[in-house]
Amino acid sequence: MNIDTLREEASRVLDESLELLIHTGNLPEHALIVLGCSTSEITGARIGKGSVPELGLIIAQDFLSSCQVRNVHAVFQCYEHLNRALVMEEEVLRENRLVQVHAIPQPKAGGSVASAACRLMKHPVLAQSVQADAAIDIGDTLVGMHIRPVAVPLRGDYPLLGHAHVVMAYSRLPLIGGERAVYA
């Protein structure tokens, strides 16, 4: 696939995935949504073995603008080289009382998408971890650790972006109390 085809496909997949997540998960304004994305997997390479910074920039721009339009917060997961730290605006980190860590993601140490997100944000910082309202995983990046319990898996109309799997999850409140409990 060429970069223009991937640009169109990425825009469509991210936009429709966000819409589905927000609607199905009944996510509130200012929800935290994590994106884990492997540009290597999208282009058919093995995760972490073929970073594509140009594609990372396209995906980061699309995700940021799609989140902004929907009034939710974009959070970007780094690769294991940075212990899966998360890139976000400093304001989001402070509002959610998260633990800040220090590193600057690079395409081959943190990932092309996270690296691009750092360059695009006004005041980017890295958080050690987060319990987000929802997540989108493109390329089997294992974003589940960043979703608060209980995570509900969700698949959209687009199971692939390029060669990469696309899966999502949103969180719901835990149901407690057993068979006599009443839930609204």
Burial 96-112 (b: 16+ CB within 10 A, else e): bebeeeebebbbbbbbb
1: confidence class by pLDDT, cuts 50, 70, 90: low
Q: List Cα–Cα distances, 105 to 1, 74, 113, in angstroms.
A: 26, 16, 9
The pLDDT, as a whole number, for residue 16 is 95
The mean pLDDT of 25-44, rounded to a whole number, is 97
The pLDDT, as a whole number, for residue 8 is 94
Please check the confidence at residue 49 and state whether its pLDDT lies above 70: yes
pTM of the full predicted structure?
0.94
Q: Where are the domains of the chain?
A: 3-180
Give me the helices (H) in 37-164, please: 39-42, 53-69, 90-95, 112-120
The pLDDT, as a whole number, for residue 183 is 85
Q: What is the CATH number of domain 3-180?
A: 3.40.50.10360
How do residues 58-68 score in pLDDT, each as one tens digit? 999 999 999 99
How do residues 120-142 score in pLDDT, each as one tens digit? 999 999 999 999 999 999 999 99
179: confidence class by pLDDT, cuts 50, 70, 90: confident
Q: What is the DSSP letter of 146?
A: G
- Please identify which residue in the block is written with the tokens 């690296």: 115
Among candidate residues 111, 13, 10, 122, the one with its CA nearest the CA of residue 73: 122
The pLDDT, as a whole number, for residue 117 is 98
The pLDDT, as a whole number, for residue 178 is 83
Among 29-38, 49-58, 136-145, 174-183, the least confident range = 174-183
The pLDDT, as a whole number, for residue 106 is 95
Q: Look at residue 66 and give its three-state secondary structure.
A: helix
Determine the Cα–Cα distance for residues 111 and 101; give it in Å rounded to an integer.
Answer: 17
For 49, other C-beta atoms within 10 Å of its C-beta total 10
